[in-house]
Amino acid sequence: MFENNYQDIELTCSDCNSTFVFSAEEQEFYAEKGFASPKRCPACRANRKKQRNSSRKRYPAKCSKCGCDTTVPFRPREDKEIYCTDCYAAMKAQQQEQEQAPVVETEETLVQQEQ
Ligand SMILES: [Zn+2]
Ligand SMILES: [Zn+2]
């Protein structure tokens, strides 16, 4: 039987040039999935992932509250209210203020939740 004797190796990140450990476990995982060895350290990989997510397509929309131009990460619908970042933050703050009022759970609502 062939043994997968992987050993931790050090690779150099192609983005920040720092070395990082490509562990035996990861090597096995990558080999299983048929992936090539990583070119970037975990931090740079996470960064790139974040960048990809933030550059995801956004749709232009008009804020229902102040009427300014904004973008949303989903296709705006005519029947849905769209808020710009400022109005959204203001609305959220207002909501939180309201939520600070004690919420009384009646037996009725609890029963409904269980169903
Ligand atoms: Zn890096
Ligand atoms: Zn607004």
Question: For residue 112, what pLDDT is reported?
Answer: 58
Question: Residue 58 Cα, ligand 2 centroid: separation in angstroms?
Answer: 17
> Is there a domain that residue 72 lies in?
yes
> Is there a domain that residue 113 lies in?
no
Question: For residue 97, what pLDDT is reported?
Answer: 85
> Is there a domain that residue 91 lies in?
yes
If one counts the domains in the chain, the total is: 2
Q: Which ligand is the nearest neighbour of the Cα of 19?
A: 1
Q: Which ligand is the nearest neighbour of the Cα of 15?
A: 1
> Is there a domain that residue 74 lies in?
yes
Question: Residue 57 Cα, ligand 2 centroid: separation in angstroms?
Answer: 20
> Is there a domain that residue 112 lies in?
no
Question: For residue 103, what pLDDT is reported?
Answer: 61
Which residues of the chain have a pLDDT value below 70? 1-4, 101-115
Question: Residue 29 Cα, ligand 1 centroid: separation in angstroms?
Answer: 20
pTM beyond 0.85: no
Question: Residue 70 Cα, ligand 2 centroid: separation in angstroms?
Answer: 8
Question: For residue 78, what pLDDT is reported?
Answer: 79
Q: Which ligand is the nearest neighbour of the Cα of 91?
A: 2
The domain in which residue 85 lies consists of 57-98
> Is there a domain that residue 16 lies in?
yes
Question: For residue 18, what pLDDT is reported?
Answer: 96
Residues 31 and 47 in one domain: yes
Q: Which ligand is the nearest neighbour of the Cα of 17?
A: 1
> Is there a domain that residue 104 lies in?
no
In degrees, rounded to 5, the angle at the alpha carbon of residue 17 between the alpha carbons of residues 28 and 54 is 80
How far apart are alpha carbons 46 and 54 in whole angstroms? 12
Residues 43 and 33 in one domain: yes
Residues 48 and 62 in one domain: no
Question: Residue 101 Cα, ligand 2 centroid: separation in angstroms?
Answer: 26
- Of 13, 1, 38, whose CA–CA distance to 23 is shortest? 38
Residues 1 and 52 in one domain: yes
Question: For residue 74, what pLDDT is reported?
Answer: 82
Question: For residue 100, what pLDDT is reported?
Answer: 75
> Is there a domain that residue 115 lies in?
no
